[in-house]
Structure formats: C-alpha cells, structure tokens
Amino acid sequence: MGESQGRPDEASPRLIEAGTPAFRRTAIALGAAGFSTFAVLYGVQPLLPVFADDFAVSPAESSLALSLPCAMLAVALLVVSPLSEVWGRKPIMVASLFASALLTIVAVLVPSWHGFLALRALTGLAASGLPAVAMAYLGEEMHGRAIGLSMGLLIGGNALGGMVGRLLAGIIADHASWRWGLGTIGVLALLAAIAFVYLLPDSRRFQANRMRWREVPGTFTQHFRDPGLPWLFAEAFLLMGGFVCIYNYIGFRLLDPPFSLSQSAIGAIFVVYLFGTFSSALTGEIASRLGRRKVLWLAILLGLAGVGLTLSSQLALIILGIVLVTVAFFGAHSVASSWVGRRASRDRAQASSIYLCLYYLGSSVLGTAGGWFFAHSGWIGVVAFFATLYGLALIIALRLSRLPPLVQADG
C-alpha cells in the first residue's frame, strides 16, 4: 500500500502553479472548507461561559463542547486518511463537510447537555474527513513553489472560519440565544460545502490503492523513523494546546470584573483571528523563500511575548497580547504543517493525519487541562501553562533548525 504516493514521474499531469486559474479555484475551495471546519468546531468557544450557566456545569466541563469533538476528530483522522487512499481525496472531503454542517444544525435542537455533547462528538467525527486529506491533496497537486502559499491559504481559511464562527456565536447569543448562533454557523458551513463541490478541481495526480489493513500500521510507523517528522508532530500538540487554552478561558476572565465585558464584546475580540488569516499565508510564503528552519522558532518566541502581555490589567494590552499569540500560532502552524508535507515522500495523507491527530489532541487534552490551572490559579495559571508548552515547542524548533536539509527542499 502507498506505492503511488511517491513522487510522480514526468508523464504525470502537471502540478498546479501559483497564479493560475486552477490555483485560484483550489485556494478558494479549500479556504471555504477550512472556514467550514473551524467554524463548526470552534464557534462554541466564546459560548463556554454561557454553557456553564445554561447547563450548570464547571468551566472545565463546559470546555468539553470543544474538547470532545476535537478528540473524536483526532482519533478518526487515523482511519479516514487510509480510506482516502482508496476512495479519493475529494469524495472524502465533500462527505465530511456536508455531515459536519448538518450535525451542527441538529445539535442546537437537543435540550440536554449530554445529548448536545454526543452530537458535538459526532460532529468531530464527521469533520475528520477534511484536515489531513486536504493537506495530502495539496502535497500531491501543488508545485513545490506553491505549496507554502497554498497551505498558508488553507490555514487562513481555518482562521477566518474560527473568527467568524466565534464572532457570530457571541453576538447572536447576546441578542437571541446560543442555539440561534450555533445554528447560523451550521447554515454557513452548509453553504461552504456546496461551494467546495463546485470549485475544487478533481485530483489529477491521485492514484487509488487497494486497502490492505494489515499494511496500514506500517504506513504510519514509517514516519517515526524520519529524524524530523516526530518532532514536527510534537510541535502540533504543544502549539495548538497552548493556543486553545488562551481562547478557551480568556472569555471567563473578561466577563468578570474589572472588565465585565458583554458576550458580544468578547465575541468581537475574536476579530483578531483576521491577523491569523494574514500571518499564515505570509509566514508560509516567507518560509518558502527563507527556509522553514529559520522562521519556526521566531514565531514561537512571538507567542511567548504575546502571552506575557495578557497579564496586564489594561484591556488594550490584553487584546494586543491575544493578537500576537494568534499571529504566532498560525504562522508556526503554517510552517510546521507544510514542512510535514515536504518531509513525507510517500503516504502523505498518513503523515498529515498523524500531525493533525496530535494537533487536535493538543486542543482537546491541553485545552481541558487549562481549565484546572484556571480554577486553581486564575489567569496567571493559564499563562504559566501556556509558557511551559511554548517553551518546550521552542526547544524542539531549535532542534529542528539543526536538521540536515533534504535534497529536494529545505525540509
């Protein structure tokens, strides 16, 4: 299994170059897909204080509305990626987008907390068909000079979806209810799925494989023999875990005195996700020119500087700190995820799925763990937890910077 995932020969269809109509269609389609996936997953984040009040649960328990689907998504990625080697990239992504949108719409109709959590878990399961498969699609179809930019645009779509989902959910929850807010996100995700079907070019370089389940473990474990990939997988866990902690619990801090912000105001703060949209594409392009090893550790340092600002008692400095954390995270994630695509010379969907499995496990496990630090030490506990995670990520980034480069790239 996976023999077709090596580099295609000269008789293969041409790779998609930046600036071409095919590149623009792909960028818009995958941007819409990233928008949909992140909106349905993370639209609940500003609503965690509302869930805590509405369902009479603790802050850490309310975070399960986000952590549970992320955990389900992480595990399911390891199954969906091999299936995409058989059924194709686009069909898996289309099914994922429609299912996650419809489940989000259904979830708002469920009255109980546990019923709502069950549907959120199914939403994460459905959403698993997009992230790793999209990365594999880009790795197969994009020219090497375009992959950094295209991956940055995909992640930019993620950032836009996360921003719009959080913003809409917060504003609508203030003026109607959280159910209307989350339902609106589901409808937008459904429209994004329809656009995706019509815009994304069919795979031209994908070759289907027969599924041999006994061989599947080997397609995953081979990536751990690479001197760089396991460290990139660890980066995904640490970077995403720290980032989600900040966004999970900043709302609780800003709802309380001395800030006492409204739900709409807290939702509006998530407009800073726009900086993530721009930073992911820009950092991806810079990394393609200067080399990933020269950019990753600088992005992580920026995140550490940003989280320090959130300790301020001035709202403007707190927001600036969140901006810097957001820019740093999306920039570092853009670099690390595209680096995985370059280092994995075969079975790219499996390499991408391992990266994203750790990415979403970081969101789930570390995002919920941050609630313990918040409950016992307040915001300073969350900041200390973030600094520990990003400090480890910085050590790994410096180790990666000393890796011998691959022949075909700076990876």
Per-residue pLDDT band for 146 (boundaries 50, 70, 90) equals: low
How many Cβ atoms are within 10 Å of 357's Cβ, its own excluded? 25
Place of tokens 């991806």: 284
Of the candidates 293, 299, 324, the one whose C-alpha atom is nearest the C-alpha of residue 309 is 324
Per-residue pLDDT band for 8 (boundaries 50, 70, 90) equals: very low
Q: What is the pLDDT of residue 288?
A: 62
Residue-wise pLDDT tens digits, 332-368: 988 888 788 777 666 666 787 788 889 889 988 998 8
Q: What is the pLDDT of residue 189?
A: 93
Of the candidates 294, 310, 337, the one whose C-alpha atom is nearest the C-alpha of residue 154 is 337
Contact 358, 220 (CB under 8 A): no
Measured CA to CA in angstroms, residue 208 lies from 1, 57, 76, 83, 347 at distances of 10, 47, 20, 10, 12
Query: Omega before 258 cis (within 30°)?
Result: yes
Report the C-alpha gap between 28 and 20 in whole angstroms.
Answer: 13
Q: What is the mean pLDDT of residues 189-207?
A: 82
Residue-wise pLDDT tens digits, 238-263: 999 999 999 889 988 998 888 888 87
Contact 179, 277 (CB under 8 A): no
Quote the percentage of the chain above a pLDDT of 70: 82
Residue 320 burial by Cβ neighbours in a 10 Å radius (0-12, 13-18, 19+): middle
How many Cβ atoms are within 10 Å of 359's Cβ, its own excluded? 28
Of the candidates 263, 154, 145, the one whose C-alpha atom is nearest the C-alpha of residue 200 is 154
Measured CA to CA in angstroms, residue 274 lies from 58, 157, 278, 327 at distances of 30, 10, 7, 9
Per-residue pLDDT band for 214 (boundaries 50, 70, 90) equals: low
Report whether pLDDT(106) > 70: yes
* DSSP state letter for 16: B
Q: What tokens appear for 220 in the block?
A: 């995953």
Of the candidates 226, 225, 219, the one whose C-alpha atom is nearest the C-alpha of residue 404 is 226
Report whether pLDDT(409) > 60: no
Q: What is the mean pLDDT of residues 195-224?
A: 71
Q: What is the mean pLDDT of residues 265-288?
A: 72
Q: What tokens appear for 50 in the block?
A: 């509302």
Which residues pair with residue 142 across a beta bridge? 16
Per-residue pLDDT band for 394 (boundaries 50, 70, 90) equals: very high
Measured CA to CA in angstroms, residue 402 lies from 125, 182, 292, 296 at distances of 37, 45, 11, 12
Q: What is the pLDDT of residue 291?
A: 62
Report the C-alpha gap between 83 and 80 in whole angstroms.
Answer: 5
Report the C-alpha gap between 299 and 398 in whole angstroms.
Answer: 12
- Spatial CB neighbours of 384, under 8 Å, sequence gap ≥ 6: 373, 377
Query: b/e for 110-146, b at 16 or more Cβ within 10 A?
Result: eeebeebbebbbbbbbbbbbbbbbbbbbbbbbbeeeb
Helix (H, G, I), strand (E, B) or coil at 347: coil
Contact 250, 270 (CB under 8 A): no
Read off the pTM.
0.74
Q: At what angle do helices 64-87 and 131-141 cross, to 10 degrees?
A: 40
Q: What is the pLDDT of residue 319?
A: 93
Instruction: Name the amino acid, one letter, at 150.
Output: S
Tell the CATH superfamily of the 19-206+220-400 domain.
Answer: MFS general substrate transporter like domains (1.20.1250.20)
Q: What is the pLDDT of residue 58?
A: 84
Per-residue pLDDT band for 407 (boundaries 50, 70, 90) equals: very low
Contact 47, 166 (CB under 8 A): no
How many Cβ atoms are within 10 Å of 248's Cβ, its own excluded? 27
Residue-wise pLDDT tens digits, 296-317: 888 999 999 999 999 999 999 9
User: What does pLDDT average to over the chain?
Assistant: 82
Tell me the Ramachandran region of residue 287: left when phi exceeds 0, alpha when psi lies from -120 to 50, beta otherwise: alpha
Report whether pLDDT(232) > 60: yes
